[in-house]
Amino acid sequence: MRVLQTSVPRPGAPNEDFVLSSRTAVVVLDGAGLAPGIATGCGHGVVWYVEQLGARLHAAAVRGEVPLADCLAEVIGSTADAHRDTCAVDDPFSPSATVAVARVPAGLFEWLVRGTARSSWRRTGRPRR
C-alpha cells in the first residue's frame, strides 16, 4: 500500500491531524479543534485525542479480527476510558475527530469513513487473480 499525505495546521495552532500507515492498514484522523477560549471539559486536548484514537485504531485494524466499524467503536470506548477519570468525556465540546481507515486483508480492500474526513483511494497495477 502506498500512502501520500499532506497536513497543514491552522495558522498559529498545533496540527490536529493524524496519519499512521503500515503494509496492511492506513488511518487518517482530522481533529475537530475549537476556537481558542472554548472550554472543552478535557485537559488533554485534540492533539492527544487524535494520537490516542489513531494509534489504537491502527492497531485494531492491523489485527484484522473484526469489521472496521467494530474496530472504531471499540477504540472510541477505550480512548474515552483512558481519560474518563480526569476529563468530562460526555461534554459536547470534548475532543473529537473525523476518521478514514482502510486495510488490505488477504488482498481485499476494506475501508470506512466517518464524518467529513477526506481521502481518496486509487487502484494501481493489474488485478489479482
Asked if 111 and 101 touch (Cβ cutoff 8 Å), the reply is: yes
pLDDT in tens, 78-126: 999 999 999 999 888 889 999 999 999 877 889 999 988 777 777 776 6
Polymer length in residues for the chain = 129
Name the burial class of residue 65, with classes exposed (0-12), middle (13-18) and buried (19+) by CB atoms within 10 angstroms of its CB: exposed
User: What are φ and ψ of residue 46, in 5° steps?
Assistant: -65, -40
pLDDT in tens, 68-78: 999 999 999 99
Give residues with Cβ within 8 angstroms of 59, minimum separation 6.
Answer: none
pLDDT in tens, 13-70: 889 999 999 999 999 999 988 877 888 888 898 999 999 999 999 999 999 989 999 9
C-alpha to C-alpha distance for 81 and 89, rounded to whole angstroms: 9
pLDDT at residue number 127: 57
